[in-house]
Amino acid sequence: MSVAYDYSHETARDAAVVLRKQLLIDGRHVESVSGKTFNTLNPATGQVIATISEGNEADVDRAVAAARRAFEGTWSTMRPAERAHILFRLAELMKQHGDELAELESRDAGKPIAAVLRQDLPAAIDTLTYYAGWADKIHGDTVPTRSDALTYTVREPVGVVAAIVPWNFPLMIGMWKLAPALACGCTIVMKPAELTSLSALRIGELALEAGLPPGVLNIVPGPGRVVGDALVNHPGVDKVTFTGSPGVGRGILKGAAGNFKRVSLELGGKSANVIYDDADLDAATKAAAAGIFFNAGQVCSAGSRVLAHEKVYDDVVARLTARAEALRMGDTADKTTALGPVISDKQMKSILDYVDIGQKEGATLVTGGRHVGDRGYYISPAVFANVKHEMRISQEEIFGPVVSVIKFKDEADALRIANGTAFSLAAGVWSRDIGRVQRFAKKAKAGTVWINTYGYTDVRLPWGGAGDSGFGREHGTEALANFTEPKAVWMNLNV
């Protein structure tokens, strides 16, 4: 494996300045009520890059009150076309500040800068412009019921939205939540992940510059068990949109019952990537490697289970191993770096624990699965062979650069294994047999099925799953339903 641990650029970036960030409430930067702060680290070096005000229940109260005032005062009653103009201006500002946003995201989340510039930032801007275009096109229907009445429907904004964003794609997934909610006329209190708050806070500043009225977007960083719980339980919040773990998702459902908040959850995954013996093995294994090692495996739809037909199993293992060992790790500021660190020391230890579990269960660790480098949270990409479907490394979400290669015999066996977890977010299948891949797509328990490709998403297509992968859909027109309430109007024509 080619590993370049020259940290000089990373260290220089971190030593240049430690940022000081505050909460964003009602259009102003403010300290937290408690005065407490927390540090955020660069996962590539472990060094402090920012000190951020730490929100609590009192700060959530302030933010929710500001969001309610903005909702009732200006934003929900503004002409939809004007809302669209503001969102388009924000998209343009994001383009103008693209290098700055990419730098923040790279340092804060430990992402290779090339990946942020290639995917995360363009996807965030695309999402914003897509929903900006929808702002003045959200409408109801005229429904014929009887001759003496005019009956029609309208779609109204749901109100104040709590947007709880994960640390793996803070910029991109944050915009998945902000853009449709704002386009629909909702106001927002966002809780970015405690580990990755910087890009969200900068987007908040750019939104004000674009003309977003004060209070429409409020940002309260802090611990999930404090800020997140306060938002979920707050009677002034009408809707919660959350991306994260199934365990936290279950807690959100319980908390939301207090005032019957609407909830949408995009949770975990243990996605199967099925490779048949008639597949283009070079293309399939190249995509399979990208499908698990991209973003250091910290992707909800990561293809963490590669199912290989028994005739090509050894070949698939060898090809995946070669690709894993060829990935270039190191300085995230280097545009040739393909694999960055995982997000934190805690996450690194969890992943390495799973590597130990896999070996104790009897799987063969072919390559990787080690902490590498003398600083930061780098893990060499791991390939497990001889994995049994029932093993924990096959059933539980590891959320790291670890792939389990599982052997199957035929279509029924592949489908049984692919559908045999609590998750149902995504799946992939590789074969030249059109009938076979269509049968798989029909029977796979997954919100997205990729055929002879893997990992692509687009804001124009719905995204989400069921079971431990959550419920509700982001993206496309499905997301507009998340942030609007339908209302039926019945007018008597005989008056």
Helix (H, G, I), strand (E, B) or coil at 251: helix
The answer to whether the CB of 167 falls within 8 A of the CB of 180 is no
**Neighbour count for residue 179 (Cβ, 10 Å):** 26
Give me the phi and psi of 409, to 5 degrees please: -100, -45
Nearest to 88 by CA among 134, 53, 44, 47: 134
Marked catalytic residue, from 54, 105, 266, 474: 266
**Paired tokens of 435:** 């009938």
Contacts of 359 (CB under 8 A, 6+ apart): 365
Alpha-helical (H) ranges within 110-239 are 113-115, 121-134, 170-183, 198-210, 229-233
Contacts of 21 (CB under 8 A, 6+ apart): 50, 51, 52, 53, 197, 198, 201, 221
**Neighbour count for residue 38 (Cβ, 10 Å):** 17
266 is catalytic: yes
**Paired tokens of 254:** 């319980």
**Paired tokens of 221:** 């960083």
The answer to whether the CB of 7 falls within 8 A of the CB of 333 is no
How far apart are alpha carbons 389 and 402 in whole angstroms?
15
**CB under 8 A, 24+ apart: contacts of 34-40:** 34/58, 38/194, 38/221, 38/222, 40/108, 40/194, 40/195, 40/196, 40/197, 40/198
**Neighbour count for residue 197 (Cβ, 10 Å):** 29
**Paired tokens of 105:** 């995201």
Letter for the amino acid at 203? I
Full DSSP string of 298-333: --TT---EEEEETTTHHHHHHHHHHHHHH--EE-TT
Helix axes 411-418, 434-443, angle to 10 degrees: 30
Strand pairing class (187-191; 402-408): unpaired
Nearest to 132 by CA among 172, 185, 189: 185
**Neighbour count for residue 15 (Cβ, 10 Å):** 11
Query: What order do you get walking across the sheet with 48-53 strand by strand?
Result: 19-21, 48-53, 37-41
Q: Which residues are catalytic?
A: 266
